[in-house]
Copies of this chain bind each other. A is one copy, B any other.
Amino acid sequence: MIDKDKFDEWYNEIVELADLCDKRYPIKGMNIWKPYGWKIMQNIDAIIRQEMEKTGHKEVYFPLLIPEGFFKKEEEHIRGFSSEVYWVTHAGKNELEEKLLLRPTSETAMYPIFSLWIRSHADLPLKIFQIVNTFRYETKMTKAFIRVREIHFFEAHTCHTDFEDAEKQIKEDLEIAKRFFRKLCLPFIISKRPEWDKFAGAFYSIGLDVLMPSLKALQVGSIHQYKQNFSKPFEIKYEGIDGKHYYCHQTTYGMSERVLGAIVGIHGDEKGIKLPSSIAPIKVVIIPILFKGWEEKIMDECKKVKEEIEKMGLSCHIDDRDKTPGSKFYDWELKGVPLRIEIGPKDIENNVVSIATRDGIKKRIARNELEKIKDELAEYDERLYRKAEEFLRQHIYIMEKLEKKEGIIEVPWCGKEECGLKMEEELDMKSLGTPLPGKECDKNCPICGGKATTWLRLAKIY
C-alpha cells in the first residue's frame, strides 16, 4: 500500500500514468475518460447491472435537465443542492422561460413521473435504477474520480407501500453492496449518518465508507430512507387494498466513479494500480521472451496459450511490441493487469508457462494445467481483499476517550448533536455516524459525561 504521506501525489499521477483519465480538459473537475479507464468503469457498471437484475430493478433513463419548478418542490432538497447546481438559462439566442438545471441526482426529475406511474398497490414496489452523468459544482479541490464536477453516477430509486417494506429494501441494498464491493476486493464499513449530515430530504442516510491509504475515509456509496418526505410534495400516492389512498415510502441507493478511485487508491503500490480480476479489461497478458532462432516457436506457443485462456472466458492479450520484456512488465504492472505469463525457450522445453501475479507471486504452471490460472486469479483477488481488510482493521480505533489517531475513531456517544459536533471539532474530523448493525455501549460520552447510548465514528474524510 502506498505510504500515507506520498499518497496524494502518487494518486494524482497514477490516474494518468495508468491511462485511466486525462486531466487536461480545461474545465476544472471535468476529466476525459481514456479507453482503458472507461473500459474498467464499464466493467464496474456491468457488475452493478447484474446485481440490479438479480434483485428485480429495471434500468431507465430520465432526462438530464430538470425544470426549476420540479426542483423546488422539496425544500430540504433544494437547500442541500442549490449551491451546487449548474443552470441552463439560454438556448440558441433565446433566454429560456423556465431555467433548467443539470441533475445533481434525479429525485426531482423522477418523482413527478412516479406520481403518474403509480396508481395502486399492485404497482408497488417500484424498483428502478439508472447509470448516468450527474453534475455538481464542487467548490473544494477536485480529484480524479473522487471529487469531480461531472460524475459518472449510479442511482436506484424505489417506492413501497409502507415503511417496513422500504426498510426491507434497505436491507437488500446492503446485501447488494456486500456482494458488489467483495467483487472489487474493497472492504468497507457501514454507518448511519448523524442527523446533521444526512442527505438533503432524507429521513435517515446510511454511508458506505472505505479507508484510503491517506487514512481519510471515502464515501463510496449511500443508501437513504426517505419515508414520505418526497412522496408528499411530489404527490406519489397509491390506492391500497382498502380503496384508500396513501403516500408511498421511498428509498434510494447511490454509487459513483468514486468506486474506481477507491480501487486505484487502496490496491495500488509503487509500481502502479492493481485491478481485481472481475473488472480488469485484460486479465492475462502474455509476454513472449524471444531468443534468436526461437521467435516463431515462441509466438506460436503464445497464440496457442492465448486461445486456451480465452476459451476459459478470460480476456487475454499478447504484447508483441518491439520492446524489452522488462519494459513490457513495467507497462502492464502500471496498468494493474492481474496476471502475466512469460513464454520463453525454457518454458517450451520444460512444458510449462511462467506466471506472475500483479502482487508478486511467481510460479510455473504445467502447460497442460493452464486451467490453474483461474485459481491463481481467485487467490490474487482474495489477497487483495485480505490486505485491504487488514489495513482497514488496523486503522479503526475503538476508544473511550477522545484522542487523535490517524484512521477511523469510534467513541462512546450520548447521541446529542452538540456532543457529536464538539468531538468533530476536537479531533478535527467529521462524523461518519453510528455503526450498522447497531453496537451496544455501556460507557460514557467523553464530552458531556452522560450515558452513551451508542458509538460515534469519526475520521478525516474526502
- Could you list which residues of chain A lie within 8 angstroms of chain B, going by C-beta atoms? 22, 24-27, 30-35, 38-39, 42, 58-65, 67, 70, 82-93, 100, 102, 109, 112-113, 116-117, 128, 133, 135, 137, 139, 150, 152
Contacts and interface: CB of A to CB of B under 8 A. Distances in A.
Contacts of A88: 86-89, 102
A39 B58 CA distance: 9
Contact of A86 (B63, B84, B90): B90
28 contacts: A22-B113, A22-B116, A25-B62, A25-B63, A26-B67, A26-B70, A27-B65, A27-B67, A32-B60, A32-B61, A32-B63, A33-B62, A38-B59, A39-B59, A42-B59, A64-B64, A64-B133, A64-B150, A65-B150, A82-B93, A83-B92, A86-B88, A86-B90, A86-B91, A87-B91, A89-B89, A89-B90, A133-B133
Nearest to A61: B33
Contacts of A139: 92
Nearest to A100: B27
Identical chains bound together, number: 2
Given A32-B63, A33-B61, A64-B64, 5 more contacts: A24-B116, A27-B63, A33-B60, A35-B58, A63-B150
Contact of A85 (B32, B34, B92, B113): B92
Nearest to A102: B88
A92 B84 contact: yes
Contacts of A84: 91-92
A42 B46 CA distance: 12
Of A67, A86, A139, the most chain B CB neighbours within 10 A belong to: A86
Nearest to A94: B137
Contact of A83 (B59, B86, B93): B93
A59 B35 contact: yes
A415 to B, nearest CB: 33
A137 B91 contact: yes
A297 B437 CA distance: 46
A56 to B, nearest CB: 11
B32 A62 contact: yes
